[in-house]
Amino acid sequence: MQALAQDGVPLVATTLLRNMKRLAQETQGLQPDSSVQWQARAELRPRADGDDEVWLHLQAKAMIPLTCQRCMGVVLNPVEVNQWYRFVANEDIAMAEDDQSEEDLLVMEPHFDLLAVLEDELLMALPLVPMHDQCPVGPTLHAGEADIVGESAEKPNPFAVLVQLKKKK
C-alpha cells in the first residue's frame, strides 16, 4: 500500500461478481458478466511527529441481483461504496485507536488483500430487506401453502361464539 501511495496513481478495475464468493452467495440470478467497477487511491498524509500516514480511498459501484422479500423474484439493487481508511502499523495500535478514531482503520500488512476489503464493504452496503418499489408480479403460493390458506378461510371464527353469548344477555 505504501508503494501505491507513493506512486499516486489510482487502481481502476472491474471485477466479476462471481469472483467474489461471499457476495455471489447473496445474489439471485447472477449473470456471467455481472461486475463491480471500482477504484482505489492511496495517499501519504503528514503526521505531527513527522512520519507520513498511508490513507486509502475505496470507491465502487455495482448492480447486485438479490431476492425481493415480497414477491421472491430478482430485484437489482444499486450498491455504492465510498470509504476512507487510515493504515496503522499493527493490530494493537488499531485496537487502541479504534474507539477514539472517526475513520476506519486497517493494519498495514505485507500482503494486503484489497479485494477482500472491497467485498466486505459491498456486503455491508447491501440492503437489509431487498424489495422492488412495485413488484412486477404478486407473491406466489406453493402447493402446500394454497391448501393452508383455503382451510383458514373455511374455518369459523372462534370469537363468533362469544358474540352469540353477548347477544343473549
More confident site: 8 or 62? 62
Name which of 60-69, 94-103, 117-126 the model is least confident about. 94-103
Where along the chain do its domains lie? 2-137
**Adjacent-strand bridge partners of 160:** none
pTM of the shown model = 0.74
User: H or E element: which one contains 121?
Assistant: helix 114-125
Contact 49, 67 (CB under 8 A): no
**Cell digits of residue 58:** 475505496
Dump pLDDT digits (tens) for 6-16. 777 889 999 99
Dump pLDDT digits (tens) for 23-51. 999 998 888 899 999 999 999 988 878 78
Task: Note the pLDDT of residue 155.
Answer: 72
